[in-house]
Amino acid sequence: MQLTSPTDFAKEKVQSVQEYISLAAASVANLFSKPLYVADMVQQADFIGVGSLPIVVLTGFFTGAVLALQTSNTLQRFGSITLVGQLVSTSMVRELGPVLTSLMVAGRNSSGMASELGSMVVTEQIDAMRALGTDPIKKLVTPRVVSSVFMLFFLTVLSDLVGLTGGLMVAKLLLFLDARQYWSSAWQSLVFQDVFMGLLKPVFFGFIISTVGCYYGITARGGTQGVGRATTQAVVASSVLILVTDFFLTKLLISVFSYR
């Protein structure tokens, strides 16, 4: 491993941040100019959304089930076992649904974007596109960004619903609660702030997943080993950014709604 000075390391990281911001901004700006490559957007939406359904459904279902199972022990001590539905719905909609769904999608699709674009870079397909007058950012990055943001929104809604269903299974079969009471409690506990917060986060998370994956793919260097490193870095970076963004976004939204 080659050693670098702290100054060179800092310059390299600052340059990487600048390149990422430039790519992210270009991917959004390309939406306002033609062509839009709608067919590529639909294809990526199918790959990202439909392809992620199994893992999102399984994650959401068992998260809701475990949440109901864990909270029931605490609620039983205070004689409030009927509040299981409220805890599951609030936790899934506000926090666990968006974050866990985004992490699962990041593990599957951010790595896929990095490996696919990285392979195109090392085989000089990106250079060939530029030589033919096609903007690689507009052709490859923008469709992935739009599809990720769009599909992650609906995947999160599905994950929330499946998570509530998982909590219902535990409440009905293990805790012997009434299903109608569970759904009524879960539904009535949700307010506008909870739903708004839970549906706004996937928009930011989808943007992070797609732009980080595409950035590491396009900047991959060093042949097949470089593609492997880019794939790993894309998953790690997108997952960390999702968790960091979740904290600051939650803090911001809580501050905004607390003044209403």
Separation CA 58–CA 191 (nearest Å): 26
State residue 2's pLDDT score: 60
173: DSSP letter: H
CB 213 within 8 A of CB 107: no
Separation CA 101–CA 106 (nearest Å): 8
Query: Using one digit for the tens of pLDDT, what is the confidence trace for 101-148?
Result: 999 999 999 998 999 999 998 888 888 988 888 888 999 999 999 999
Structure tokens at 1: 């491993």
State residue 207's pLDDT score: 96
**Residues of the chain below pLDDT 70:** 1-3, 259-260
Residues constituting the chain: 260
Domain-wise residue ranges, the chain = 35-258
Separation CA 195–CA 191 (nearest Å): 7
Structure tokens at 70: 């864990």
